[in-house]
Amino acid sequence: LHKNGQKAICYFSGGSSERNKPDYNAFQKAGVISNVVSDWGNKLIDIRKIDKLKPLFRDRFRRAVKYGCDGVEVDSIGVPEEMIESITKSHTFNFAKMLAETAHNENISIGLKNCPHLAKDLVSYFDFAIVESCADYNECKKFSEFTKNKKAVFIVQY
């Protein structure tokens, strides 16, 4: 890809942890995995534990750089807020901000995936956005701050 001038964006979940991922045990050992299971069967991460999460995600960003990724698409950032009653919008904002700052410290770009209720607040931290089915939920305009700031918004419609 890079030889042809193309960029590689890699994916991982930020709000959940999957047993088949190489760092699942590290997340479990750090005590950041909740007992809440997402609709797709993954355990949600307690995003309030920023100090414990930062080194785990730093390792993920470093792994992405090692794999040759130019950027990362971090999925499910807002899912813990949607499914765990005690997690607030403020927790989600702080978690997302930590992810963006950590990614940039590792010299990799990061995209905000979904999270329409925080898009305007997070635009200064993220390099691009990826939005799923925003037309179905009337959420596309919530990402207009990205384009106003000359940042790409990729819309995926299923």
pLDDT at residue 36, rounded to an integer? 87
Per residue in 116-148, pLDDT (tens digit) is: 999 999 999 999 999 999 999 999 999 999 999
Domain ranges for the chain, please list them.
Answer: 2-156
What is the side-by-side strand order in the sheet with 33-37? 16-17, 43-45, 33-37
| Confidence band of 50 (pLDDT split at 50, 70, 90) | very high
Using an 8 Å Cβ cutoff, are 145 and 123 in contact? Answer: yes
Tell me how far apart the terminal alpha carbons of the chain are, to the nearest angstrom: 25
| pLDDT tens sequence across 65-108 | 999 999 999 999 999 999 999 999 999 999 999 999 999 999 99
For residue 29, give every residue at least 6 positions away whose Cβ sits within 8 Å of its Cβ, in sequence order, or none.
none
Decide: pTM greater than 0.85. Answer: yes
As a whole number, mean pLDDT of residues 53-75 equals 97
Two tokens at 33?
A: 């995995």
d(CA 95, CA 56): 13
Q: Which of 54, 65, 151 lies closest to 106, judged by CA?
A: 65
- Residue 145 has what pLDDT? 97
Determine the length of the chain. 158
2, pLDDT greater than 90: no
Percent of the chain beyond pLDDT 90? Answer: 91
Mean pLDDT of the chain: 95
Q: Which fold has domain 2-156?
A: TIM Barrel (3.20.20)
For residues 6-16, average pLDDT: 95
Residue 41 has pLDDT above 90, yes or no: no
pLDDT of residue 86: 94
* 3-state SS, residue 12: strand
Longest dimension (CA), the chain: 47
Supply the pLDDT for residue 38: 82
